[in-house]
Structure 1
Amino acid sequence: MKVLSSSTLLKAALGAAGIASLAMVAGCASPPNNDRTDIREAGDGFPALEDNWHDGGRFVEPQSILRIREGQSKDQVRQLIGGPQFSEGFFGVREWNYVFNLYTGKAGGDYITCQYQVDFDDDMTLENTHWRDAQCPELLVPTEVPEDETLVLSGDVLFDFDSDQLTLEGRRALERVAQSAKGEFTSPGMTIVGYTDRFGSVEYNLELSQSRAGAVATYLAGQGISRSNIRTAGHGEADPVVECPGARATPSVTECLRPNRRVEITISELAGG
């Protein structure tokens, strides 16, 4: 009878443990499409809070969420808003789920708890995002039309820097604007005016403000607002809301001038509507 040494027995035990560990990992790994139906609530595609571990909601800076863009890597998303709060697998995960606490702005520090979902494509770059409740993105980008019926949206939220390409939350805000206009007016008409800050040439700022107003109009038309009922204009750096000292576009001056970079949408009922 052959007697095994203590070192041989130890190696065998470690090998068995390693195999068992690999089996556990394989059993927990998500398939490439991350089809984890066991953690989905019926109908909306979000995990059920009462059935899954999360940390009770993470307080996050709104500006961090607003910086989320298509094409970002998982590392870039993690740098902005942290890692996902639901365990959805190890390999090939294409969906991250978050629970955020967003302040309402009311006295007393009231906040609401929001579920936010990030989708990644085959290359594991950000493809799209979703909110479970409509009131959550409304806290980030308010779109309620005031009594004078002129809504002011931040150009920094609607567009990437020095661009007329709408952002994720910018598009989401315009979808709410269109929905509200169609609900409140029989035949909504819109006047969309773009503005920039004072940095850059007058000609360039005028062109950028015009193209941004046009981009907003095109998107709203795609949401059911008749394009023939929309007028656009670009006023460049004219009619500033604030005046900020400084001849150079330093971060502090640029931030001070944020209110000037805007898009104004005036909504009215067209005659005969």
Structure 2
Amino acid sequence: MRIHIKFFKVALLAAAFALTACGNVSRNVHKDGQSADSINWPAIRDTTPMHKDGTFPNLDNLARMHAGLNKQQVSDLIGYPHFSEGVWGVREWNYVFHFREPVESDHVVTCQFKILFDTDKLAQRFYWLPDECSRFQQPARAPAPLPAVVAPAVSTERFTLGSDALFAFDRAGPSDMSAEGRAKLDRLAEGIQQHAGQVQGVRVVGYTDRLGSDAYNDDLSQRRADTVKNYLVSRGVESSLIQAEGSGKRNPVAECAQAERSALIACLAANRRVEVLVSALKAETRVN
């Protein structure tokens, strides 16, 4: 019986030795786990059969390694050490890692990774061999911000052509345009063509006064806008730039209450207008 007990004790001590004494490769790991008297590295050929020649680690998990993790947390992230380092009392774990650089290429970089633990068995210091392999432990960089781009700033100029310079009451055709109105449109067309590279669009909006039905005024205002658009096109402005629309009696600029019709028509003249809105590029504005 004593022989069996003695044999059991010897076996137990041998197992304990296997789990403790053979663990540290570096000499005298300091209590705070920040360094050792001598940082030594095991030979790659001495990896365990399970980890023969090393592994390809999960890069996201590797980037999550930080001081203060316990051994279970470390193993959850990157697995147990690749050498016969034991578990109890060991304050150094060593790994052999392979990385493809660039990712998904055939070029493989082999590195050794070392963790030093403090006396509470918490990871405190990480070492790489060679040193430049430490780049693989860095968190994935966020995509670089897009460079500042130059975005065009657009300004809109409004040109108003009143009934005194364009259409008489209840008129909308090309022959109904006054000479003064034609002259103004000629100058406008010339300016648009001179700045053709900057002009982004031309919006022509026709209006009427409040006399008459909504349907009639909507149609009349559209015909006025179409007439002005066609005139600008005849003077060389690109048709694709111009949008014509009728707004009827909406957005009046004059409110009149005359009882006598001719006086009321005269008062409402300001509402019978065509507005031309020209959108063009301003000076460049830099935005991020």
Bigger relative contact order (CA 8 A; separation at least 6): 2
Task: Pick the structure with greater CA Rg.
Answer: 2
TM-score normalised by length of structure 2: 0.40
TM-score (norm 1): 0.42
Q: When you count strand as a share of all residues, which structure comes out higher? A: 2
